[in-house]
Amino acid sequence: MDANHKSQAQSRRDAGAPARRPRPRVSTPPYNPGLQQLVENKQAWAEPLSDDAKTKGFRGWHQRGYLPHHDAPGVTQMVTLRLADSLPASRRGEWEHLLRIEDDRERRVRFEAYLDRGLGECWLSRPEIAALTKNSLRCFDGQRYALAAWVVMPNHLHLLVDVWEVPLAKLIAGWKSFIAHEANRVLQRKGEFWEREYLDTLIKNETHRRTAVRYIENNPVKAGLVRDPQEWLWSSARHRDEYGRLKIGTPGAPPSPAALDRRGGRR
């Protein structure tokens, strides 16, 4: 600020005028032309959203500056959410290039293999936090969406969800907000709990769906945490019968729908 501007500002303060409020910062995706071209290519072959779907908040293929995302009613999505420190900034050179891989399958496989190294504080490994995470994911299961598979890992989680009439982005925001608030209370901390960005993959057919279920439920075995998927406490694998059908009982003490709807807090 030059001397003239300083003098004007001091004069305003001396005169008792209210200080000028800083302009609010507008969050916009970082410029990524390669990603935008990828999304536009996907939009070109995708079925257009109906006006009703758009009104409900569905966005189809879109991006937020880092990864492509798909959000539409009546589809099945495999989703990965990770903790804020699961990709340490000190190791950026090890993982940053993984986010730029254009092939969806290769990006997911290599990215999630890195997550399985279990870096960061791994707050989800604490039983009380893993339990509240599992219960919050299941809170509206069968009402607003259908969970086909899930697993809570030490520093991330995977789920396979049938999206109905509520946009995937809204479902994710609700899960992340509630879990972050409750987990931070347990940990007696404040600050970011989840990484803002998430990874989602559109399921193409029944074969792809079965592969996704196996991948999700076998993740603890692949990471060397257990020998059998059903040994992992925080997974849908424990709830399958001898025919592989998902048998779900009452999830214990899940958060109330009202709590999930109104819960704020850091994500």
Task: Indicate the residue type of 32.
Answer: N
pLDDT at 265: 41
Please give the Cα distance from 201 to 88 (Å, whole number). 24
List strand residue ranges (DSSP E) for the chain, in order: 60-63, 68-71, 76-82, 145-152, 156-163, 199-202
What single-letter amino acid sits at 121? Answer: E
Q: What are the residue ranges spanned by the domains of the chain?
A: 67-242+249-262
Dihedral of CA 39/41/43/45: which sign?
negative
Give the relative orientation of helices 127-138 and 168-187 as an angle to the nearest 10 degrees.
150
Class at the top of the CATH hierarchy for domain 67-242+249-262: alpha beta
pLDDT digits 0-9 by tens, 13-57? 555 555 555 444 444 445 566 666 666 677 677 788 888 888 988
Tell me the residue type at 4: N
pLDDT at position 43 is 64
Q: What is the pLDDT of residue 238?
A: 93
State residue 24's pLDDT score. Answer: 42
Question: 43 to each of 22, 40, 228, how far by Cα in Å?
Answer: 38, 5, 40
pLDDT digits (tens, 9 = 90+) for 99-153: 777 776 777 778 778 888 888 899 999 999 999 999 999 999 999 999 999 999 9
At 267 the pLDDT is 45
